[in-house]
Amino acid sequence: MEINHTNIDKVPIVSVSGRIDGATYKDLETILNELIDQNNSEIVLDLQGVVYISSVGLRVLLAAQKKVRPKNGAVKLVSLQPFVREVFEITGIIKLFSTYPNQREALDGIKL
Amino acid sequence: MEAMENEQEITVAATIEQIPAISDFIERLMSHAGFDLRKIMEVQLAGEEACTNVAKYAYPGKEGTIHIVARVHGERLVLIIEDHGIAFDPTTHIVALSQADTKDRPIGGLGIHLIRCYVDEISFEFRDGKNVLTLVKNRA
C-alpha cells in the first residue's frame, strides 16, 4: 500500500493505493490520526487506487469518522472502486460516509 | 472440462502480520486453478476475516498457529482453516446489521458478515481440540 498526502485549499487529501488489509491498515491509521491531531476535521480520502479493503481497514475509517464528527467534520471518500464499494455497501458502512467521484467534488462540499 | 485437482497447505503464526502470506497462498492456488481475480479477492477477504478473528481472539495471552488447507476440486475451492484456540463457531454468531447499530457493531461481527457474504458455503466443527472452519467458493 502507498499513501500520499497533499493539501488543497488547506484541506488534507490522502491518496491511497494498493490493499488496505491486516498488513497495511496501521499506516493509514497513523496518518489519519496525525491529521486529526493537527485539528483537521475535513479529510478527503482518495481511494481510486485501492482494490481491496478488509474489516480492519473499515474500522480505521470508522474510527476517523467518529473522531471528526463532533467537530462538524467528515472523512470524505473519493473514487471507490467496485469491490471496495461493495464491501462498504454490504456492511452498511457506506451510510456513514459521503462518497464522491473525484477530489474536486469532495472539496466543493467543504465550506472554507 | 477436465476436473482439476490441487491441494496445498500452509501453517502460519496466528498473528495479523501473517495476513499477506495467507492472501498470497490463496491467490497462488486460485490463480493456478483459473479463478478470476474477483473471485480470488472475495476468498482472500473471507480468509483474512476468518484468520484475523483467530489472531485476535483464539489465543489470548499466548502464541498459536493457523493451519490452512486449500483444495480445488473441479469447480469448487474448499478452504479449511484450523486453529487450536478457544472454541468459537462463527457460523452461529449473530451479526446485527441494522443501520442503527452500525457504529457500535463489534468488528468481529463485521468480519463474520463479510465471510458469509463472500463464500458460497460455510461450516464449522470443533474436532480433536481444534476449530475447523470450512469455506467453499464455487467458480461460477
Q: Is B44 on the interface with A (CB under 8 A)?
A: yes
Q: What CATH number has the domain bearing residue A77?
A: 3.30.750.24
Asked if A21's CB is within 8 angstroms of B110's CB, the reply is: no
Instruction: Evaluate whether residue A40 is within a structural domain.
Output: yes
* pLDDT number for residue A109: 72
Question: How many folded domains does chain A comprise?
Answer: 1
Q: What's the farthest any 2 CA atoms get from each other in chain B?
A: 49
- Written as nine digits, the cell of B4 is 482439476
Structure confidence by residue, pLDDT tens digits, B13-72: 999 999 999 999 999 999 999 999 999 999 999 999 999 999 999 999 999 999 999 999
Picking from A21, A59, A62, the nearest residue to B19 by CB comes out as A21
Q: Please name the amino acid found at residue A57.
A: G
Q: What CATH number has the domain bearing residue B82?
A: 3.30.565.10
Q: Which residues of B touch A66 (CB under 8 A)?
A: 103
- As for the ipTM of the complex, it is 0.92
Picking from B17, B110, B113, the nearest residue to A23 by CB comes out as B17
Any idea which residue has 467534520 for its cell? A73
Which pTM does this prediction carry?
0.91
- Whole-angstrom distance, CA of residue A96 vs CA of residue A92: 8
Q: Which of B70, B76, B75, B79 is nearest to B7 (CA)?
A: B70
Identify the closest residue of chain B to A63 by CA–CA distance.
B103
Instruction: Evaluate whether residue A50 is within a structural domain.
Output: yes
Structural domain boundaries, residue A32: 2-106
Structure confidence by residue, pLDDT tens digits, A35-49: 999 999 999 999 999
- Whole-angstrom distance, CA of residue B91 vs CA of residue B125: 10
Asked if A83's CB is within 8 angstroms of B48's CB, the reply is: no
Structure confidence by residue, pLDDT tens digits, A67-107: 999 999 999 999 999 999 999 999 999 999 999 999 999 99
- Written as nine digits, the cell of B116 is 458469509
Shortest alpha-carbon distance between residue A34 and chain B (Å): 22
DSSP class of A8? E
Structural domain boundaries, residue B41: 5-138
* pLDDT number for residue B101: 45
Identify the closest residue of chain B to A56 by CA–CA distance.
B107
Q: Please name the amino acid found at residue A69.
A: R
Any idea which residue has 498488513 for its cell? A23
- Show which of residues 41-100 on chain A sit within 8 Å of chain B, judged by CB atoms: 51-52, 54-56, 58-59, 62, 66, 83, 87, 90-93, 95-96
Q: Is B48 on the interface with A (CB under 8 A)?
A: yes
- Whole-angstrom distance, CA of residue A112 vs CA of residue B7: 57
Number of H helices, E strands in chain B: 3, 5
Question: How many folded domains does chain B comprise?
Answer: 1
HSE, CB side, 13 Å, CA atoms: give it for residue A22. 24
